[in-house]
Amino acid sequence: LNSVVFLTLPVDSIYDSRSERVCVFGTGDLGRSLGLRLLQAGYGVVFGSRRPHSSSSLLPHGAQVLGHAAAAQSAHLIFIAVQREHYDFLVPLANQLKGKVLVDLSNNLKKNQYPEANAEYLQSLVPGAEVVKGFNTLSAWSLQNGPSDANRQVYICGESVEAKQAVIAVAIKLGFSALDRGFLSVARELEDFPLQLFPQWRLPLRIAIGLSAAFFFYLLIRDIIYAYVTQSKDISFRIMVSLANKVCPIVSLIMLSLCYLPGVLASFLQLYRGTKYRRFPDWLDRWMLCRKQLGLLALGFAFLHVLYTLIIPIRYYVWFKATERTVSMIRENRTTQFDMTTAWRGDSYLSLGILGFGLYVLLGITSLPSVSNALSWREFSFIQSKLGHLTLLLCTAHTYLYGWNRFLSSSTYKWYTPPGYMLCLVLPSVVLLLKLLLITPCVDRTITRIRQGWERGADQRNPKDNLSLRHEL
């Protein structure tokens, strides 16, 4: 009933009590969701539609629907929730849109679909209006979910500061935090944003898949095919758990080293150059930027390793072997002695693994934005750098001890698994050695001196200074 009354009243008398009126062009998915959210935030909403009289059944209760021209006149701020292909309907409205703020919400289906950004195109169609790009990274779905949804950041850009301020005010009232990204030339970047698929995860994922595949095939040939060819022994069932439980820790350890290697390399580079005011090479930059993802993937593999290890006692193969040994010992009337050294060795390597994994999880948790935001920079770098290298040390020691144990305890254990196992130890050892070098007193002094240089605010020390610095290193 209310909406009928609304529609029969003149526009101005309806929203007297409302703080502000906002117009939305387009009554599609996004237009409707945005309209609903605006109404909930206390705005008066006027939809502009091609068919104002036939589209009202799905529209949020309390909104008004008019033709485009009439709707444009009723508000200063107009959200354009219409696909870019149809923007030409705005050209005849140029007069009504003069001086208005037009918010371009559009996205494209692929990158570089059009020669210019949608927002720039809109501006060229309606030169008299102030175009602001924004809100396009939200989805109709998240808008309907209300302010409890996690995605609360919106990006905007545009030429006019006042226009942007008006849009930011609306964004804040809707419960978003708005980030002004600059002029309209940034629009293209904002339009590409929703098209990106985990951009920072791409390289780490490729590394993880590549390493897993390489080690899987290596171990497949060495452990299973080799045994089959030389001893005609079929142990192919080992693929499922034993092999996976070798691939996971190896990949995890290598990825954790790859996560800490660029930081160490960067430190050496800065020390060598004697300044931090020079750009890193591109490859190092890219590598540094995906450290978090490398670390999280490493954590994932470590987690799988833990699960695979925990299920060992319930495996049929293990149960069968143990029973077989017991039965044969009874038959032969044999007993064995408890070997204290073996017990110590086994427990030590397991314990190192558990401690390493515990710290690993801590690193993972503190990399979550909500947790890291609660930490000071010093706390964050203490955990991620100091405890991170400690994690690497514990996990490397765990792997060393494991290999040593196997080597000592098994007469059938051939020196053929170690190449893979050595490979996974080389990299962490190198990283740890370099890190050790970095925290030795001499290098530490140099770092302190460079830092003091930075703190003095200038890095225009004369070249001689740099030389002596290098000498000291």
Ligand X SMILES: NC(=O)C1=CN([C@@H]2O[C@H](COP(=O)(O)OP(=O)(O)OC[C@H]3O[C@@H](n4cnc5c(N)ncnc54)[C@H](OP(=O)(O)O)[C@@H]3O)[C@@H](O)[C@H]2O)C=CC1
**Contact residues for Cu ion, defined by CB under 5 A:** 249, 353
Q: What is the pattern of x (binds ligand X, CB under 6 A) and - over residues 135-154?
A: -x--xx--------------
| Phi, psi (rounded to 5 degrees) for 60 | -60, 145
Which partner from the list Cu ion, ligand X, none does 249 bind, CB cut-off 5 to 8 Å by kind?
A: Cu ion
Task: State which residue, 126 or 469, has the beta carbon closest to ligand X.
Answer: 126
Determine the interface stretch with ligand X among 102-110, 271-279, 298-306, 432-440 (rule: CB under 6 A).
102-110
Q: How far is CA 10 from the centre of its chain?
A: 50
Q: Does 97 bind ligand X (CB under 6 A)?
A: no
- Regarding 26 and contact with ligand X (CB under 6 A), the answer is yes
Could you say which of Cu ion, ligand X, none residue 27 binds, taking C-beta under 5 to 8 angstroms by partner kind? ligand X
Give the nearest distance from C-beta 427 to Cu ion in angstroms. 16
In the complex, minimum distance from the CB of residue 77 to ligand X, in angstroms, rounded to a whole number = 16
Q: Which two tokens stand for residue 351?
A: 């314990």
Q: Is the dihedral of CA 140, 142, 145, 146 positive or negative?
A: negative
Q: Which of 61, 69, 89, 217 binds ligand X (CB under 6 A)?
A: 89
| Nearer Cβ to ligand X (89/228) | 89
44 makes contact, choosing from ligand X, Cu ion, none, with CB < 5 to 8 Å by partner type, with none
Give me the residue whose beta carbon is nearest to ligand X.
Answer: 28
120, 157 contact by CB (below 8 A): no
Q: Closest CB to ligand X among 52 and 262?
A: 52
Whichever of 240 and 374 has its CB closer to Cu ion, that residue is 240
Residue 181 interacting with ligand X (CB under 6 A): no
Report in angstroms how near the CB of residue 469 gets to ligand X at its nearest: 53
* CA–CA distance, 39 with 61 (Å, rounded to integer): 9
Among 14, 75, 82, 261, binds ligand X (CB under 6 A): 82
- Closest approach, Cβ 58 to Cu ion, in A, equals 57
Binding-site member from 14, 21, 27, 255 for ligand X (CB under 6 A): 27
Q: Please report which residue ranges of 157-311 form alpha helices under DSSP H.
A: 161-173, 187-192, 202-219, 226-231, 244-273, 282-289, 291-310
Type of residue found at 45: V
State the Cα–Cα distance between residues 7 and 4, nearest whole angstrom. 5
Nearer to ligand X, 50 or 449 (CB): 50
Selected range binding ligand X among 29-37, 70-78, 94-102, 275-283, rule: CB under 6 A: 29-37
User: Both tokens of residue 10?
Assistant: 């003149």
Sequence letter at residue 445: R
Three-state DSSP class for 96?
helix
287-302 burial: b if 16+ Cβ within 10 Å, else e = beebbbbbbbbbbbbb
Partner in contact with 64, chosen from Cu ion, ligand X, none, beta carbon below 5 to 8 Å by kind:
none
How is residue 291 written in tokens? 């450290």
Q: How far is the CB of 140 from ligand X (least distance, A)?
A: 4
Helix (H, G, I), strand (E, B) or coil at 154: strand
Q: Candidates 45-53, 403-411, 437-445, 461-469 — which segment interacts with ligand X by CB under 6 A?
A: 45-53
- SS3 state of residue 180: strand
Six token digits for residue 252: 């995890």
Of the pair 53, 451, the CB lying nearest ligand X is at: 53
Residue 105 binds: one of Cu ion, ligand X, none (C-beta under 5 to 8 A by kind): ligand X
Phi, psi of 446 (to 5 degrees): -60, -45
Total of chain residues touching ligand X, rule CB under 6 A: 22
Name the residue nearer to ligand X (CB basis): 28 or 175. 28
Burial degree of 129 (CB within 10 A; 0-12, 13-18, 19+): buried
Residue 276 C-beta-side C-alpha neighbours within 13 Å: 13
Q: Which two tokens stand for residue 136?
A: 């396009």
Contact with ligand X (CB under 6 A) among 105, 168, 394, 469:
105
Q: Tell whether residue 56 is a contact of ligand X (CB under 6 A).
A: no
Among 83, 144, 267, 275, binds ligand X (CB under 6 A): 83
Instruction: State yes or no: residue 86 binds ligand X (CB under 6 A).
Output: yes
Residue 192 binds ligand X (CB under 6 A): no
Does 60 contact ligand X by CB under 6 A? no
> Tokens in use for 331?
């038959």
Q: How far does CA 117 lie from the centroid of its chain?
A: 26
Residues in the chain, total: 473
Q: Which stretch binds ligand X (CB under 6 A): 12-20, 132-140, 155-163, 167-175?
A: 132-140
Tell me which residue of 129, 106, 317 sits closest to 195, measured CA to CA: 106
Residues lying near ligand X in the complex (CB under 6 A) are found at 26-31, 49-51, 55, 81-84, 86, 89, 105-107, 136, 139-140
